[in-house]
Structure 1
Amino acid sequence: MKLWLTVTCILGCLGGGFTLYSAISVGSSGLATMSTALQQISPALTAYSTALNTARTSVYVILNDLMGYMNITYTAINKTWAVNQTEYLQNVLQQIGYFNQSIGYGDQSVSSQVIQNLYSMNYGLQSNIDNMMSYYNSLVSQMYSTTAENCTLRNATQMANVPVSLAKYATCLQLDTAAVTQYLPSVLNMFAYSKTELISQIAQLKNCSSYSATCQNAYFQQIYSEVSNTLSSLSSAHAFLSGAFYEAGQRDQFCGQLIEADIQDSIQNLTNAFSLCSWPPSN
């Protein structure tokens, strides 16, 4: 294709009638640069996806273990003490039911935030690509004179390199990947500590003798409050995750806005340079 265009240009340009080759060449080189930039984004997106999947798997392994412990342990306690501690045990079991539901809500919240983040980044990427394609199309529409072609040739390298900025989207993803890796241990520790708290709370029942109703009553009155506090801390962990992804989304949007502004300025500067070259100010 390029060889054919070169031959055509040689034949046409000799007579001064064909002036499209330089614009087509710039556009073609620009598309190649765009392809290279998008290929650089792909590994970053894969790494981000891997980090998210690893985090989700790790979180759910420890959450499933925690939920299993709570359900089995408190089911056994309810079986043994339900007759004497109806009110307090019902409240505790109800709280555990709420926690099981909140796990699903927490997952939905985090997942929807991740989807929104990626959607926003894809939208920004597409918007920039559309702007570049519009710019390259405008070059072709201006190829009506030898002067215009000469101006395009003079700025060809800069024009073709405009899509280089697209690769900066990979940096946004790399920062988010690093963030997931950094805060995951903290979240896992929060969940693990909650199980430690629950184990300690259950162990306190052993301090009551089987004949001490006063001790047992005091235990079950207090355990509701302690379990509530533990489940609140678990909800805080979910809120932390959701907030972390929300902040990541805000960073991504800001990153995309900066890239878009950078690309717009590059195009505007080249447009100005082309205009001055084609229509230089008179002395």
Structure 2
Amino acid sequence: MITRGLAILLVSVSIAVAFDWYSLTEQNYAAIQSGLAQLNDAAKGMNTSMVENQKICQDAINGLIVHINRSLIALQRVYPEAANLSTDQLPSTMFYTWYVESVADQFRQASTNNVMMPAQRVVRTILDAMNDLYSNPSRSCAERYATQLIQPRISVGRLKDCLTTNIPFFRGLTETTELLLRYTEKAADANIAQVQLCTPDSRSCIAEFFEDLPRILGNIISNMGSLYGFPNAFGQPASERNQECVSLITLDIQEAIQDMKANVTSCSGN
């Protein structure tokens, strides 16, 4: 009876131990899922900000032509010479709106490469660590430190900060673009206002003004090519910042895992 009771006790202990590891595995998977959810939420937040700021930029670019068109219509009310003037004679801004969209798409891809893909490797590192603990011959030592694997420091969700830090820079890019376009509008207004330099009776002065105006406005719009430098000025440092962010957090997580493994090894040797 004693032998039978001891056997039952050993079976019960074995089941309890197995249940503990199963429970810990569940907690580890849950922690990983929670971390990935945080990362996905950050990615959605970043994308929402990108879409919002992209629209603001594109609306501002399209608004320049609307603004100039209103000014030309105002001229037509006063000067018969302006009858044939329209924004159709000016360079199109469609290429710039496409360019903003292209830059946004490139940054999304860079964020995938620099943050989301490395996140998968972090998850693999955590799962491998869990497997190493479960397979460790010194079960009691592994059990003592295994719960450290689900500490906040070892969470793939920490990589969310690598995405959310981009959001203020998107707004900065938008504000810079808006500033340039406001300046472009003022430049257009200043040139259109020069018609007032001509006295109403000076046919040659007025004729010269309207002959030169399409070229001058076209040059002003063409100067929007300066926009090409702005996304790179914001995007390149952002990509490098994301890479450094992921590298630092990954190293920190790996160090925490290595410390935990070292504790298990030290425990096993005692």
TM-score (norm 1): 0.73
Q: Contact 2:90–2:214 at 8 Å: present in 1 too? A: no
Deviations 1:76-128 (A, max 9, x none): 99x95899xxxxx9xx988714x442432343133212332234211111111
Does residue 124 of structure 2 align to residue 130 of structure 1? yes
AA paired with 1:185? E
Unpaired segments of 5 or more residues in structure 1? Answer: 1-7, 84-88
Residues 70 and 149 of structure 1: is their aligned pair in 2 closer, same or farther, counting only changes over 3 Å? same
Task: Please report how far the alpha carbon of residue 141 of structure 1 lies from its aligned counterpart in structure 2 after TM superposition.
Answer: 2.6
Please identify, of 256-265 and 192-201, the stretch whose mean Cα deviation from structure 2 is larger.
Answer: 192-201
Q: Contact 1:121–1:253 at 8 Å: present in 2 too? A: yes
Unpaired segments of 5 or more residues in structure 2? Answer: 1-7
Task: Please report how far the alpha carbon of residue 37 of structure 1 lies from its aligned counterpart in structure 2 after TM superposition.
Answer: 2.2
Distance in 2 separating the partners of 1:109 and 1:278: 54
**RMSD over aligned Cα, in angstroms?**
3.7
Q: 2:39 aligns with which of 38, 41, 52?
A: 41
Distance in 2 separating the partners of 1:267 and 1:224: 66
Q: Contact 1:194–1:230 at 8 Å: present in 2 too? A: yes
Q: Show the 5 A alignment for 1:1-283.
A: 11=11, 13=13, 23-70=21-68, 96-97=91-92, 99-142=93-136, 144=137, 148-161=138-151, 164-208=154-198, 211-213=202-204, 216-217=207-208, 224=215, 227-229=218-220, 231-232=222-223, 234-280=224-270
TM-score (norm 2): 0.76
Q: Contact 1:23–1:152 at 8 Å: present in 2 too? A: no
Equivalences, count: 257
Q: Contact 2:110–2:239 at 8 Å: present in 1 too? A: yes
Distance in 2 separating the partners of 1:19 and 1:47: 42
Task: Please report how far the alpha carbon of residue 241 of structure 1 lies from its aligned counterpart in structure 2 after TM superposition.
Answer: 2.8
Larger RCO (alpha carbons 8 Å, 6+ apart): 1
